[in-house]
Amino acid sequence: MNDFVTVSDMVVRPLYDGPLPTTLDKIPVEAHRAEAEALIEKAGAATLVMNVYAFLVSGPDGTFLVDAGAGPLKGADLGRLPQQLARFGVTPADIDAVFMTHLHTDHFGGLIGANGPAFPNADIIVYRREAEFWLDTPESDLPARARRGLDVLRDCMAQYSGRVRYVGEEEVRPGIRAIPAHGHSHGHVCWRIGAGSNALLAWGDLIHIAAIHLPAPHIAFEYDLYPEQALESRLRILDQVGESGMLVAGAHLPSPGIGRIVRAGDAFAFEPANTAVATPGDHSGE
């Protein structure tokens, strides 16, 4: 398996943070649950274990992460990010910026170090709408579910005081900009990395269980804060990447976390990057 893809002048590598099992109880709509059960039966029960990935982006303008994995917040099976970085000869001090898709535990936990910030030289880049929701809204004004673990998030971000950057849709670093895809969280975004058609979309939590949400994107999952908006974002982005054939990198995609999305009618499927990268000219319809 290739452990990297190249987009424009940047190299993107998946960093496997660990497994995160889930259950079908997390599907709020009864009818959807039966549909999902059939899909999981077909795909195999193991597909209910979500991978957690962060991504390493290395280029002429710096060394970056997209998300940071769960760190210490989701149990001992996760938090492998530092070892994964070491595999590529990268130390935490080398990271110049961390681009956050959103501020849920399995994405920001890895920012927490044993004695202060895990990435002592990094700016933490957060889409403004997401940052203001989690970091600046009085706790009593947040929905109850968003208050869980809020102190941990705010303490973590306070350790990066002065280096948490609120951004919009401008180019934040050369070739890197946010594409709004709200709904999973208040200001969830995808990060577009690269120029023109030579780009990759790091889409965060656009989908959770590939075996369910690619063939049946309409199936809601409890993790989405605003299910209808999440569905609208999911369909919009899936349409775009299915049409353009651009690479995607997903926090919870099957191994290796990077690949392409192929469309079949209303359904989508994931084509892992090892094939996609090995034969870049062989994809009809791209």
Least distance from C-beta 276 to Zn ion, angstroms?
A: 23
State yes or no: residue 224 binds Zn ion (CB under 5 A): no
Q: Considering beta carbons, is residue 100 or 247 the nearer one to Zn ion?
A: 100
State yes or no: residue 106 binds Zn ion (CB under 5 A): yes
Q: Considering beta carbons, is residue 51 or 63 the nearer one to Zn ion?
A: 51
d(CA 93, CA 188): 27
Q: Considering beta carbons, is residue 24 or 195 the nearer one to Zn ion?
A: 24
Q: By CB under 5 A, which span of 106-114, 135-143, 150-158, 213-221 interacts with Zn ion?
A: 106-114
Q: Tell me the C-alpha to C-alpha distance, in Å, between residue 141 and each of 102, 135, 264.
A: 19, 12, 42
Residue written as token pair 């190299």 = 11
Q: Considering beta carbons, is residue 64 or 203 the nearer one to Zn ion?
A: 203
Least distance from C-beta 52 to Zn ion, angstroms?
A: 7
Q: Express the helix, strand and coil content of the chain in percent, nearest 5 each.
A: 30, 30, 40
Helical (H) or strand (E) element with 167? strand 164-167
d(CA 33, CA 48): 13
Q: By CB under 5 A, which span of 5-13, 100-108, 146-154, 160-168 interacts with Zn ion?
A: 100-108
Q: Considering beta carbons, is residue 118 or 206 the nearer one to Zn ion?
A: 206
Number of residues this chain uses to bind Zn ion (CB under 5 A): 2
Least distance from C-beta 18 to Zn ion, angstroms?
A: 12
SS3 182: coil
d(CA 24, CA 47): 11
Q: Under 8 Å CB-to-CB from 177, ≥6 apart: which residues?
A: 169, 170, 171, 191, 192
Structure tokens at 102: 């959103």
Least distance from C-beta 253 to Zn ion, angstroms?
A: 11
Q: How many CA atoms lie within 13 A of 109 on its CB side?
A: 20
Q: By CB under 5 A, which span of 7-15, 53-61, 125-133, 199-207 interacts with Zn ion?
A: 199-207
Residue written as token pair 């994405």 = 107
State yes or no: residue 130 binds Zn ion (CB under 5 A): no
Least distance from C-beta 17 to Zn ion, angstroms?
A: 10
Least distance from C-beta 251 to Zn ion, angstroms?
A: 5
Q: By CB under 5 A, which span of 103-111, 123-131, 151-159, 225-233 interacts with Zn ion?
A: 103-111
Q: Considering beta carbons, is residue 205 or 224 the nearer one to Zn ion?
A: 205
Q: Considering beta carbons, is residue 73 or 199 the nearer one to Zn ion?
A: 73
d(CA 256, CA 275): 11
d(CA 131, CA 267): 33
Q: Which of 67, 123, 205, 224 binds Zn ion (CB under 5 A)?
A: 205
d(CA 261, CA 91): 32
Q: Considering beta carbons, is residue 106 or 130 the nearer one to Zn ion?
A: 106
Strand pairing partners for 116? 113
Least distance from C-beta 132 to Zn ion, angstroms?
A: 20
- Residues contributing to the site for Zn ion (CB under 5 A): 106, 205
